[in-house]
Amino acid sequence: MNGTPPAVDKDWWRGAVIYEIYPRSFQDTTGDGVGDLAGITRRLAYLADLGVDAIWIAPFFQSPMKDYGYDVSNYTAVDPLFGTIADFDDLVAEARRLKIKVMIDQVLSHTSDQSPWFKESRQSRDNPKHDWYVWADPKPDGTPPNNWLSIFGGPAWEWDTRRCQYYFHNFLVEQPDLNFHNKAVQDALLDTVRFWLERGVDGLRLDTVNFYFHSQGLESNPPADNHDAPEAPAVNPYNFQEHIHDKSQPQNLQFLARLRSLLDEYPAETTVGEIGDGPRSLKTMAAYTSGGDKLHMCYTFDFLGPQFSAKHFRERTEAFEAIVGDGWPCWAFSNHDIVRHVTRWKDATTLGHDQLAALAAAILLSLRGSVCMYQGEELGLTEANLSFEDLRDPYGIRFWPEFKGRDGCRTPMVWESNAPNGGFSDRKPWLPVSPAHVPLAVNREAGDPASTLAVYKRLLAFRRAHPALRKGTIRFVDAPADVLAFVREGEGETVLCAFNISADAARFALPAGMKVTPLSGHGFTGRPEGGTIALSGGDVFYGSVA
């Protein structure tokens, strides 16, 4: 045996399945009702058995928790609520043993107002960090400098009595935006990123990656022609503006190139950016991922809305392929900010819950690109129905009752149906466990070959067994209105994928001259009959194309 180390796969992220963990709600090991890093470590074997390639851990950094970790006060410290830096090191070590990559959430666009950086910046107009945040004088009448709005409601400007200026916040007033036009700010942030790279993380999920820069001219945004931005609820006045000055500025490309240069110093790092940019999202995604010198991949809100149809999946995917060019997508149907997809799409289809969950899994795991799964989607968890008294999310509290916020998708993971709180914690959890989730607990689904969990395990294994599904090209095939059909091709194989979005049986006529042989191992029953593919309601067909 020689001592040559194994070759590093720098492209491990292409086609990877990344499992998002919301640590507050994954597994509590300390009995305080809040999940922690040790809880993630405890459950890594479950994720290895499920078959995911990587985990993305939502923020666990020191924070006053006004926005539950997305308001960071210290980028290089673990909040005691989640454990210690030693707990994080143990997590990485166990993930390495199980061959699971570890990605962490980086919230670089803003900090907490309790950050030492902001505390210094707000003291005066001439201190060393006076311009680390976005400060502006009022108009002559004392009102904010422009019309920019916060996603969380109201103006994006907050008056500070020490400086007698306004500061900019895209989110809560407790989340002041950093001034990326200041290179010292960029340097400080990149130093914090390096801290975690040195601790062995394999990649970064970048929160609100197109929000880093603002227009230095502070021009007011024009009104929007369409108020249906998928990133914010319809009742939010944020949708009434075209956000052309408060985000998605061209200077961001230079910063992303700096970030990529840092990551390229390490063997096999990756990035996935979150882009919320309304109708411009795909163009922004193209700019951020093209050329191989910025982000590795991004995801948009294209599949995080209420649309569930073959037409929508085809149009948005083809638009990506046409616009993004050499970029690489990362698709998601659910995450910690969005109503869970089996609930979000139930009114768009007559499929039953289990059929919808299985069909959505097959579509997600067959599209060209990498995949982000959200904890509990492999169990078919629905959006939890919470009372106003149970809410913790400031976003939901602000817009209740027309928009109920993000708590319904953040309730605790259910591990054991016969244990208190679904096996999440021995004590009252920070959010209640949904009674509807308990019958879907891991211990109940693990032994049922017809369960949603079993469907995901089969599909993940099937995806690994067919390289064309991980990294191959995609080409759509014309099909009846309720059938989504495309060909994935690469690494010596060609696979036809067909999905019946309807609850009614459908027949899909094969393109002239195409011959297919059914592939096994995925658990669906679609089958060839002559020159057609027969699909029952919600059914899927995978076939090898000769």
User: Hey, which residues are catalytic here?
Assistant: 207, 265
Structure tokens at 33: 């009702």
Helix (H, G, I), strand (E, B), or coil: what is residue 513? Answer: coil
Q: How many CB atoms lie within 10 A of CB 455?
A: 23
Q: How far apart, in whole angstroms, are the C-alpha atoms of residue 130 and residue 375? A: 41
Residue 19: CB partners within 8 Å, gap ≥ 6?
A: 47, 50, 52, 54, 55, 56, 372, 373, 374, 375
Q: How far apart, in whole angstroms, are the C-alpha atoms of residue 289 and residue 206? A: 13
Q: How far apart, in whole angstroms, are the C-alpha atoms of residue 143 and residue 159? A: 9
Of 143, 311, 277, 261, nearest to 209 by C-alpha is: 277
CA distances from 13 to 16, 146, 203, 270 (A): 5, 41, 9, 7
- What is the DSSP-derived secondary structure letter of residue 524? -
Asked if 493 contacts 463 with a C-beta cutoff of 8 angstroms, the reply is no
Q: How far apart, in whole angstroms, are the C-alpha atoms of residue 293 and residue 284? A: 15
Query: What residue has token string 């995978």?
Result: 542
Q: How far apart, in whole angstroms, are the C-alpha atoms of residue 198 and residue 192? A: 10
> Residue 142 — left, alpha, or beta (φ > 0 → left; ψ -120 to 50 → alpha)?
left
Residues present in the chain in total:
546
Of 500, 515, 509, nearest to 532 by C-alpha is: 509
Q: How far apart, in whole angstroms, are the C-alpha atoms of residue 210 and residue 253? A: 10
Q: How far apart, in whole angstroms, are the C-alpha atoms of residue 498 and residue 514? A: 14
